[in-house]
Every structure is written in structure tokens, then in C-alpha cells.
Amino acid sequence: MGFIVIPNVCSAKGAICHCLDEFSKGRGARSRVARLRDAIAALAPAFNGLTGVFDQHLVSHVITDATERGRIVAHLERYWFNQASPEAFFPGVPMASIYGQGVLKALDLALAGRRVVLPLNSWWLLDFPEVKLLSLADVDSAGVTTGGRVTLLILTPRPQGGGTPTRTPILGETAQAFVTEHHDNATRTVAIRSQ
């Protein structure tokens, strides 16, 4: 069974988001980001093999436990990127192509920093009508990405069907997410980690 986000949580930072954030920081980030960017670009236009590229060039740099890494890779292939899987979260949607092109754009923006690669800040947002990847950055007139980070938002409908709700919608120690909403005549802000 695939891990799904519990019903009252509207945002998550799963394995790919967490790994993108972590591997794009620190010593050697530019070369890591460039290698991932080139490997993803080589898969265009269908982006078949995206799971393997993520495993080799991304997940392996952050998730060191082989069992955990294998579980993540199997989950990505089964529920996200293999359109032929009967358990795909988004049947009929070319997930590898959308995801590959979206991540590629975020990586290009990160690499376009003046002197350093800009770290990524990636989030999965649920309850959208269709799958989209949204890259956000400040870019000057010369095409140089400025500011402190490049934000990548993975927007999807909520996966349906049988899955195991995850108890950790946000991986990592520092990432925080809050939702402010009006419900039952009251406005409230809730930390997603505490839900």
C-alpha cells in the first residue's frame, strides 16, 4: 500500500521534496544539482526512467539506509511514475512527464544563481483539481535567479483509494507548514506537524 496524506492535512513534504531541499544545500550542491538536472533532461520528452534517476542522483544522497531508500523508490514507481501500475495515484495522467519537466525548471532556476546554486524549498500541496508543478523564484532582467531560494510546489488532487495514512506528513527537522482557515464561524491557524 502507498502512503497517503491524512484527510485534514493539505500539504506535505515527502521523500522527493525533502531530498530536493537537503541535497541542494551545502558543499558540492552545484555539481549535485547539475548532475540531476542533466540526468532528468536526458529522459525528455516522456521522462521514462524518472524513478531510477531520482534514486541514483537524488535520494541516494540524502537517504542512507538502503531499506528505507528501496521502500521510497518502490513507492515512487508504483504510485507516482509508472502509468501502467494499477495502483497509480493519478491514472491517465502523464506524471513522469509533468514531474520531470517541473523539477527540471526548478533546477534550472536554482542553477541560475549568480555565484551559488540557490537551495530548493519543495512542497506537495493537495486538493487541487489537476496535477501541476509550480516553480517560484525572483529572476532579474539578465536571467539571474536572485533571492534566497527557489520554491517548487507539486499541486495534485488528493490520491484516492486504499493507502496507509502517514503519521509524518513533513520529513526533516526544520520544515514547518501552517494552514489558516475559517471553519464553523472561527478562523484558526494550525501547524501541520501537529495534526
**What phi, psi does 126 have (nearest 5°)?**
-100, 170
Helix (H, G, I), strand (E, B) or coil at 67: helix
Q: Predicted confidence band at 1 (pLDDT cuts at 50, 70, 90)?
A: very low
Q: Predicted confidence band at 119 (pLDDT cuts at 50, 70, 90)?
A: very high
Beta strand 163-165 pairing with 178-183:
unpaired
pLDDT above 70 for 2: no
Helix (H, G, I), strand (E, B) or coil at 46: coil
Per the document, the length of the chain is 195
Domain definitions of the chain by residue range? 2-194
Cis ω on the peptide bond leading into residue 45 (within 30° of 0)?
A: yes
DSSP state of 191: E
Whole-number Å distance between alpha carbons of 28 and 116: 10
**What phi, psi does 179 have (nearest 5°)?**
-120, 130
The β-bridge partners of 190 are 179
What value does the mean pLDDT take over residues 35-55?
Answer: 97
What value does the mean pLDDT take over residues 136-164?
Answer: 87
Per-residue pLDDT reduced to its tens digit, 98-113: 999 999 999 999 999 9
pTM as predicted: 0.86
- What's the whole-number average pLDDT of the chain? 86
Whole-number Å distance between alpha carbons of 79 and 88: 4
Beta strand 178-183 pairing with 132-139:
unpaired
High-pLDDT (> 90) share of the chain, %: 65
Burial 63-96 (b: 16+ CB within 10 A, else e): beeeeebeebbebbbbbbbbbeeeebbbeebbbb
Higher-scoring residue by pLDDT: 169, 158: 158
* Whole-number CA gyration radius for the chain: 17
Q: Predicted confidence band at 4 (pLDDT cuts at 50, 70, 90)?
A: low
DSSP state of 194: G
Look-up of cell digits 517541473: 102
